[in-house]
Amino acid sequence: MSRAFVFPGQGSQAVGMGKDLADAFQTARDVFGEVDQALSQDLSKIMFEGPEDQLILTENAQPALMAVSLAVVRVLEKDGGMDLGKACALVAGHSLGEYSALAAAGAFSLADTAKLLKIRGQAMQKAVPVGQGAMAALLGLDLEAARAVADEAAQGEVCTAANDNAPGQVVVSGAKAAVERALVIAKEKGAKRAVLLPVSAPFHCALMQPAADAMAEALGNVTISAPVVPLVANVTAAQVSDPDEIRRLLVEQVTGAVRWRESVLAMKEAGITGLVELGSGKVLGGLVRRIDKSLSGSSINTPQDIETFLESL
């Protein structure tokens, strides 16, 4: 089977995340310790014990999700003898998961990735005052219909399709009033459901430009190596390996749409038959068959999952 490793984005965090890995593997404990040290913060304590209101803060959730993903990767490599370059043909990640994917493929050091995601989380939170932006899931509308809803709802404000997750599952993002108008318009246009998402900022839209500027500066100060396998980038749904191009696309990604459905289809086109999600939750593994029934999707986030996967290699 030709396999891609994919990495979850925000929303997959939960109190207790990574604790079973830390209990079972010294390698996982080392990853969490290295992230804590890089951030000068006891992030692993928040991950394992909460409180939830601290964990869901964007600046904590983003490095926390990356830490669990990288703990899974390192355990597979160090304890399981897996060679990532041979175990998968491509990597991809949903939004912040793109950083996890790049770290897994050797483009970033673990410490740099943790610091970048801390900066990214803080910058995204600061870009728009709380309560002025919003995101909403439009269920039952395809991308073109969702874009039409966003355009009609904008009325001079920012409102745009931000995440194309799967057929009939598109997220719009922008100014709160515009997104609220989109909820009404979407239902009029036949959406099965249109719901506001419990997020603290309007990600992946033009309102995030201050955060994109912050990431351009931060990414300019870190070393990016060519990944051992290509990344399928969120904003282009195409493969990339060149470090300068990766840097540019990561900046663009802050304000650009996450083209996840197209990314999965591009992976299929490249010969991928199965997507394996590494890290917290099972969101991406679950989306695979909604995007294309011929693809297999699975998730690895527990010691048992790791054992089962290693046996399949």
Asked if omega into 51 is within 30° of 0 (cis), the reply is yes
Q: How far is CA 205 from CA 58, 129, 137, 175, 254, in A?
A: 16, 15, 14, 9, 7
Confidence band for 304, pLDDT divided at 50, 70 and 90: very high
Q: Which of 44, 95, 100, 280 is catalytic?
A: 95
Alpha helices in 200-302 (DSSP H): 209-220, 243-255, 260-269, 283-291
Cβ atoms of 172 and 136 within 8 Å: the answer is: yes
pLDDT of res. 209: 98
Please tell me the predicted confidence (pLDDT) of residue 1: 62
pLDDT tens track for 158-188: 999 999 999 999 999 999 999 999 999 999 9
Distance, CA of 199 to CA of 177 (rounded, Å) = 15
Which residues make Cβ contacts (< 8 Å) with residue 309, sequence separation at least 6?
76, 276, 298, 300
Instruction: Specify the pLDDT at position 200.
Output: 82
Among candidate residues 204, 263, 280, 299, the one labeled active-site is 204
- Model pLDDT for residues 221-254, shown as the tens digit of each residue: 999 999 999 999 999 999 999 999 999 999 999 9
- Mean pLDDT (the chain) is 97
Mean pLDDT, residues 265-292: 97
List 231's β-bridge partners, or say none.
Answer: 91, 240
Domains, the chain, ordered by start? 3-127+207-312 (3.40.366.10), 133-199 (3.30.70.250)
Cβ partners under 8 Å of residue 53, min gap 6: none
Report yes or no: 178 and 274 within 8 Å, Cβ to Cβ: no
What would the pLDDT profile of 15-51 be if each residue is shown by its tens digit? 999 999 999 999 999 999 999 999 999 999 999 999 9
Rounded Cα distance between 44 and 28, Å, is 11
Tell whether the model's pLDDT for residue 201 goes beyond 70.
yes
Instruction: Give the helix ranges, DSSP H, for 75-208.
Output: 84-87, 97-104, 110-127, 143-154, 176-188
95 assigned to active site: yes
Determine the 3-state secondary structure of 302 from DSSP: coil
Rounded alpha-carbon distances, angstroms, from residue 33 to 22, 146, 296: 10, 42, 33
What pLDDT is recorded for position 6?
A: 98
Confirm if 10 and 61 have CB atoms less than 8 A apart. yes
Average of pLDDT values for 258-279?
A: 98
- Convert the pLDDT of each residue in 112-154 to its tens digit: 999 999 999 999 999 999 899 999 999 999 999 999 999 999 9
Q: Is 94 a catalytic residue?
A: no
- pLDDT, residue 93, reads 98
Three-state secondary structure along 62-93? Answer: HHHHHHHHHHHHHHHHHHCCCCHHHHCCEEEE
Put simply, whether the predicted model's pTM sits higher than 0.85 gets the answer yes
Using the predicted structure, report yes or no on whether residue 260 has a pLDDT greater than 80.
Answer: yes
